Amino acid sequence: MILDRARVEAALPGYELFGVLGSGGFGMVIEARHIRLDRRTAVKVLALPAVAPAEARLLARLRHPHIVEIFDYVEDDGLGLLVMELCDGGTLRSRAAGGLPIAEVVGYGLAIAAALDTAHLQRVIHRDIKPDNVLFTAEGTLKVTDFGVAKMAATTAGDGGPNTIVGTPAYMAPEQFTGARLSPATDLYALGVVLHELLTGRTPPVAWPAGFAPTPPGRARAPKPDRGMLPPAIGSVVRHALEPEPTARPGSALDLALALAHAAARDLGPGWLTACTSPLHIPDVVRSMAASAPPATRFPAAPAPIPSAPAPAPAPVRVPVPRTDTVHRAGGRLRRWVGRRTAGAGTPSRGIVHLSVDSPLGLATGGEGLLYVSQPLAHRVLRIDPAASPVAGPAASPATGPDGAPTVVAVVAGSGKAGLGGDGGPATAADLDSPAGLALAPDGSLLIADSFNDRIRRVRPDGTIITVATSVPLRRPRAVTVAADGTLLVADTDGHRVWRIDLDGSAHVVAGTGSAGFSGDGGPAERAAIGRPVALATDSHGRLLIAVPEHRRVRRVGLDGRVETIAGTGYGGRPAADGGIATSTDMGTPTGLALSPDGTFYVADPSGERVLAVRPDGVVAVIASRPGVVPVGDPRQVAVGADGTLYIAQPGRNRVTVVTPAQLPQL
């Protein structure tokens, strides 16, 4: 494309523009500097402005240290501009030109896998992983970029027909050539090609599908990496990623990372990770695997494409649920309740069930088992009533619960289209944009953190929707809760603050300075740095709990307005285990908070794939984990009903796990 520099300068008056950094079919990238902040950035000038808002919204969802960060999006007179962090440390291809140590290559592979795992859990498939799309900052941190060809998995792997063939042939999986359904395994194949190239100096032969090369009918030709040039254990992992059939590849990016870390420990020794010079932001479980060489672990099978991929479960008992067009259009796709067998039991446990819902996130509980669930990717909020009689109407559908009782799923807010509109009218006809946290007010109103619209919406008991406190300058709010006196508390996530909105609509900051970071324990909360709060809860004393995943802590604001850390230590704390003390335990990345009637609070930790409980005396217990009595994967949010029932939202597994008090481990 031809760069009209004058138009870009006019659209970005606060920036100083420099030279062109690169260009491609999806746009041109130029270097710029934010004048007031003195921050160097990269500005992507989109060749197809019509897709720019979608790409901006997509990138903003993918927050990970190994994914390029987006700062701003500007649209001006048909021009789409993405302002992103500047990665001026070169590409992976340029770094590999002179050869790389094996340990460095594996470290890069772990970083890319960590970035892909975050994207896949958000239902995004990159589709063009290659060395040119892996950049480095000046400090040497690896960043996966160019999500311009990425697609939401709901579209890429949906039921709407074949996909457009997009990608770089040498790195494309067999299913990409035919336009067939894609899944996270598609990106894992590309990562396998990248690892093979970095380790051997050449890409493996393309696994051409039938019809694209002279292969036996109905079969794909597998690449044949040179076994002699690949370390034995690491080579086995690479070859596994290069399987022609998607279902034969590793089950997830996390599984690939675990296997790669384990293989490197076997080939290079348990101290190999210290040889990596690039900063690595990888899950603790992967880092632990890299430090030892346990017996070989067998890969789990790859899941089906994201929209229909249930998490693995021991001996499930499936109760079919009628799937109607209404529920499908609602984005709810209530598929089934799955009762789990408890150890030694001969009948399914009625205390632990998994409710299948597409991409659930925010949770709120009402009386008589009512559950409200937000769906950021479907831009809707659902109400699930496992006890009610079937309700007729355009936004409700009957289903069957674990006991054979009727279950009703209804859309209570959101038209299913991303946007802003509908205030004063029916909530089901209003546009939302990535709704996140939910809360119920004493009058029965439903509060919604309408995250990408930068506001809080209220659905009144009569079904109409309004915006709350329009004057509050929110930035990507992720959570809202209601205090005992009826006032609202809002996590202004990208504004690095927590606001209190009074009944008269006035608002003031109760915690956070507006700057990212961590500081202020023991002092006034409004003078403390609280970087990106994402979950809130209030206890029976009126104290405010704040989950801060980027600093691996849960903080509490007392009645005197002072803030303290009540769980987590940042990095370096003791591993979470039953009986540990919360203030010396590594709480992982807490993204969800919920308080039980007895004062225990629950913490969702997606990085550790677990849910932790902290008793009032500060003692920690592991309530749910990936291999555990209560099985979870990607727990993001939690809620507790009035009867003590625990609800766990797992968007990456498309389910909400429901655990009755009788099935919760004894604390």
Tell me: the pLDDT tens digits for 275-290? 888 889 998 888 888 8
State the Cα–Cα distance between residues 40 and 33, nearest whole angstrom: 4
- The answer to whether residue 251 is domain-embedded is no
- The answer to whether residue 135 is domain-embedded is no
> What's the pLDDT band for 453 if we cut at 50, 70, 90?
very high
SS3 sequence of 537-605: EECCCCCEEEEEHHHCEEEEECCCCEEEEEECCCCCCECCCCCCEHHHECCCCCCEEEECCCCCEEEEE
- pLDDT attached to residue 565: 96
CATH number at residue 411: 2.40.10
- pLDDT attached to residue 260: 95
- pLDDT attached to residue 445: 95
Q: Which of 44, 48, 15, 47 is nearest to 32 (CA)?
A: 15
Binding residues for ATP: 44
3-state secondary structure of 101: coil
Contact (Cβ atoms closer than 8 angstroms) between residue 445 and residue 431? no
Domain encompassing residue 396: 366-468
- pLDDT attached to residue 576: 81
Q: Which of these ranges, 182-196, 236-250, 405-419, 590-604, has the smallest mean pLDDT?
A: 405-419
3-state secondary structure of 479: strand
**Is the dihedral angle over the CA atoms 120, 122, 123, 124 positive or is it negative?**
negative
Pairing of strands 317-320, 507-511: unpaired
Reported residue count of the chain is 667
- The answer to whether residue 437 is domain-embedded is yes
Contact (Cβ atoms closer than 8 angstroms) between residue 80 and residue 69? no
Q: Annotated active-site positions, please?
A: 128
Q: Which residue has the higher pLDDT, 627 or 148?
A: 627
- The answer to whether residue 459 is domain-embedded is yes
- pLDDT attached to residue 336: 32
The DSSP bridge partners found for residue 648 are 638, 657
- The tally of CA atoms less than 13 A away on the side-chain side of residue 141 is 17
Binding residues: 44
- pLDDT attached to residue 477: 94
Burial of 208 (0-12, 13-18, 19+ CB in 10 A): middle
CATH number at residue 61: 3.30.200.20
- The answer to whether residue 593 is domain-embedded is no
Tokens representing residue 220 in the block: 């794909």
State the Cα–Cα distance between residues 94 and 147, nearest whole angstrom: 20
- The answer to whether residue 337 is domain-embedded is no
- The answer to whether residue 258 is domain-embedded is no
Number of independent structural domains in the chain:
2
Digit-coded pLDDT (tens) for 252-264: 999 999 999 999 9
3-state secondary structure of 222: coil
| Cβ-based neighbour number of residue 460 at 10 Å | 14
pLDDT at residue 447 is higher than 80: yes
Contact (Cβ atoms closer than 8 angstroms) between residue 450 and residue 459? no
- The tally of CA atoms less than 13 A away on the side-chain side of residue 590 is 35
Contact (Cβ atoms closer than 8 angstroms) between residue 452 and residue 435? no
- pLDDT attached to residue 285: 82
Q: Which of 352, 306, 333 is nearest to 399 (CA)?
A: 333
**Is the dihedral angle over the CA atoms 160, 162, 165, 166 positive or is it negative?**
positive
Q: Looking at 468, 483, 512, which one is the last position of a domain?
A: 468
Digit-coded pLDDT (tens) for 135-147: 998 888 999 987 7
DSSP 273: G
Contact (Cβ atoms closer than 8 angstroms) between residue 219 and residue 190? no
- The answer to whether residue 313 is domain-embedded is no
Q: Looking at 86, 101, 116, which one is the last position of a domain?
A: 86
| Cβ-based neighbour number of residue 515 at 10 Å | 12
CA angle, residues 539, 439, 375, in degrees to nearest 5: 130
134 Cβ partners below 8 Å, 6+ apart?
91, 92, 108, 112, 142, 143, 144, 145, 194
Q: Which of 284, 344, 289 is nearest to 314 (CA)?
A: 344
Task: Tell me which residue has tokens 């597998």.
Answer: 222
Tokens representing residue 99 in the block: 């050869």
Q: Looking at 436, 468, 500, which one is the last position of a domain?
A: 468
Digit-coded pLDDT (tens) for 535-554: 999 998 999 999 998 888 99
State the Cα–Cα distance between residues 391 and 62, nearest whole angstrom: 38
